[in-house]
């Protein structure tokens, strides 16, 4: 039996239509109508190839994984600034995840640049239940992303920061692995 991994990504497209409206005895008024389209793409690939999916369907078989454990840095200059915020429970009907993990990582490490940040939910003896890309916010030389989760789910969350050589986006060569369970305070 071959192990397969399903990769899913959401693409969002926006269409804006501008119209001029003018009623009797009124100045022309310009209004915009915006339609948002969301596309979901699935790709099933062998796990070995899924570690480094490149542009145009090209695969690279080798990617070096750096397991950070309880550390927030690696010897090659990679570092994570991690803020964990605990929110109090609300009295309203809707629930808000009580923990927010906000990370900042360098955009460039050595001769590599950040390609993708993704979240994996790992359960049942290290088996992956979910893998999804995260939204990244670039701020100068750092990239910020966040995950909000309940404590019991956060213990299974694994963040992956994958870097590619400069000028070769998609040919990921380094995967820094941050397990959130090591960064939850006992009182949270």
CATH code: domain of residue 151: 2.60.40
43 and 74 inside one domain? no
> Which residue's entry shows tokens 């692995």?
177
Is there a domain that residue 55 lies in? no
Within 10 angstroms of residue 1's Cβ, the number of other Cβ atoms is 3
Torsion angle, CA of 60/42/34/145, rounded to 10 degrees?
-50
Model pTM? 0.65
The average confidence (pLDDT) of the chain is 74
Residues 72 and 140 grouped into a single domain: yes
Q: What is the mean pLDDT of residues 61-71?
A: 86
Q: Are residues 13 and 76 in the same domain?
A: no
**Residue numbers of the domain that contains 101:** 63-183
The answer on 166 and 91 residing in a single domain is yes
Q: How many domains is the chain partitioned into structurally?
A: 2
92, 147: one domain = yes
Chain-centroid distance of CA 188 in Å reads 23
Taking the C-alpha atoms of residue 132 and residue 82, their distance in angstroms, rounded to an integer, is 20
Same structural domain for residues 11 and 93? no
Same domain, 34 and 106: no
Token code pair at residue 87: 């929110």
**What CA–CA distances, in Å, run from 160 to 31, 49, 176?**
42, 16, 6
> Does residue 142 have a pLDDT over 90?
yes
Q: How is 5-69 classified by DSSP, letter by letter? A: EEEEEEEEEEEEEEEEE--TT---EEEEEEEEEEEEEEEEEEHHHHTTB-GGG-B-S--EEEE-T
> Per residue in 84-100, pLDDT tens?
988 776 666 556 668 88
> Do 89 and 165 belong together in one domain?
yes
Whether 138 and 95 share a structural domain: yes
pLDDT greater than 70 at residue 68 = yes
As a whole number of Å, the CA-based R_g of the chain is: 21
Q: How confident is the model at residue 11 (pLDDT cuts 50, 70, 90)?
A: very low
Determine the longest span between alpha carbons in the chain, in angstroms. Answer: 74
Q: Mean pLDDT check: name the lowest of 31-35, 149-153, 154-158.
A: 31-35
Binned at pLDDT 50, 70 and 90, residue 19 comes out as: low
Q: Are residues 35 and 124 in the same domain?
A: no
Give the H or E element holding residue 47. Answer: helix 47-50
Categorize the per-residue pLDDT at 44 as very low, low, confident or very high, splitting at 50, 70 and 90.
very low
Separation between Cα atoms, residue 85 and residue 9, nearest integer Å: 27
The DSSP code for 140 is: T
Share of the chain above pLDDT 70, in %: 60
| Pair 159, 103: CB distance under 8 Å | yes
Q: Evaluate if residue 73 carries a pLDDT over 50.
A: yes
Average pLDDT rounded to a whole number, residues 107-119: 93
């Amino acid at each position: 039996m071959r192990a397969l991994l399903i990769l899913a990504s959401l693409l969002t497209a926006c269409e804006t239509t501008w119209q001029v409206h003018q009623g009797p005895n009124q100045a022309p008024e310009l209004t915009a109508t915006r339609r948002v389209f969301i596309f979901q793409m699935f790709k099933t690939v062998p796990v070995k190839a899924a570690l480094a999916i490149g542009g145009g369907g090209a695969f690279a078989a080798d990617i070096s994984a750096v397991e950070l454990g309880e550390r927030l840095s690696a010897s090659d200059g990679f570092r994570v600034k991690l803020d964990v915020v605990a929110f109090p429970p609300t009295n309203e009907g809707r629930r808000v995840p009580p923990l927010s993990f906000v990370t900042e990582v360098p955009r460039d490490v050595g001769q590599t640049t950040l390609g993708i940040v993704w979240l994996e939910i790992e359960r049942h003896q290290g088996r992956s239940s979910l893998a999804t890309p995260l939204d990244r916010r670039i701020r100068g030389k750092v990239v910020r992303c966040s995950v909000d989760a309940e404590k019991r789910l956060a213990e299974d969350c694994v963040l992956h920061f994958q870097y590619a050589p400069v000028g070769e986006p998609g040919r990921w060569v380094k995967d820094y692995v941050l397990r959130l369970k090591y960064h939850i305070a006992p009182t949270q």
